[in-house]
Amino acid sequence: MRIACIGEAMIELSMAGEDAQLGVAGDTLNTAIYLHREAPALQVEFVTCLGDDPFSQRISDFIASQGVGRDTIHRIAGSSPGLYAITTTEDGERSFTYWRNASAARQLFADLDFSILAGFDAVYLSGISMAILPHPVRTALVAWLETAQVKVIYDSNYRPRLWENEAQAQQITKGMWDRADVALPSIDDEMALFGETAAQVETRFAGHRGRGALKRGESGPMSLGSQVTQAYPPAERVIDTTAAGDSFNGGYLGALLSGKSQADALMAGHQLAAKVVQHRGAIMPE
């Protein structure tokens, strides 16, 4: 099975006093890496745009080092990737500063040609993947996916600052939920985007057309598509919640797409996320 993970990979600066540690991160890239680790028999490729600068090459090399395919990365001369910095206070609170408005990834599918996705069995993308694109590209992509013979996997991953307005975010998200074969929403994102209570979000997704999981943090995931009743043990400790949802997606999809049951897939996602939050940074040591 070939799976395309679509989105943005950025340079990450993690500040420690006067020093900075350089890394690579991105929500759909994090999921691609964990998906490959959990199910190495699957062919996972990352779809994005990078520039021709040294930082773009660093990102490309990192992706390859993690076992994720990079043949679908388009390089744009004169462009560069986005960058963000993590600052941590003495009490452990993290804040983020972004420089991504001119990121090469924003030019993804600029020609409205989505044929590169036709050769995949499944495509995975998020609300961040959509938010960084111009609105005409988003709507064209949703329209293409409506008739494409490919399994669609979506995580709304709502970040208000990336969208021009709430109405467009709601429009695209609703369109993707209508199309998604596998839905991986987070309850907090859905509450923020649609102004619903937790109970209203759960009720809305209880009738989802496909399979998936409504992520609810320590409460454990709610199964979509079939009823699953099982206990989800909490993490032994929580050091850093970065990529908790991304890693859940990777663990869940790795199990589900390998033919395991819904119950096993939910547990695989929860257990992987519980491990990841016990380490600093998005990518846990292998």
Q: Copy the structure tokens of residue 212.
A: 């998936």
| Distance between CA atoms of residues 188 and 36, nearest Å | 27
In the 8-state DSSP scheme, what is residue 235? P
Of the CA atoms within 13 Å of residue 94, those in its CB half-sphere come to 14
Query: Is the separation of the CB atoms in 184 and 155 below 8 Å?
Result: yes
Residue found by looking up tokens 């490309």 in the block: 60
| Distance between CA atoms of residues 82 and 167, nearest Å | 25
Can you list the positions of beta strands (E) in 7-104? 10-16, 19-25, 43-50, 73-75, 83-88, 94-99
Contacts of 158 (CB under 8 A, 6+ apart): 127, 169, 173, 189, 190, 192, 193
Query: Is the separation of the CB atoms in 73 and 47 below 8 Å?
Result: yes
221 to 162, 174, 199: CA distances (angstroms): 26, 21, 14
- 19, 71, 246, 264: the active-site residue: 246
Quote the longest CA-to-CA distance of the chain. Answer: 52
Q: Known catalytic residue: 246?
A: yes
- For strands 222-224 and 2-6, give the pairing: unpaired
| Distance between CA atoms of residues 253 and 4, nearest Å | 13
Which residues are annotated as catalytic? 246
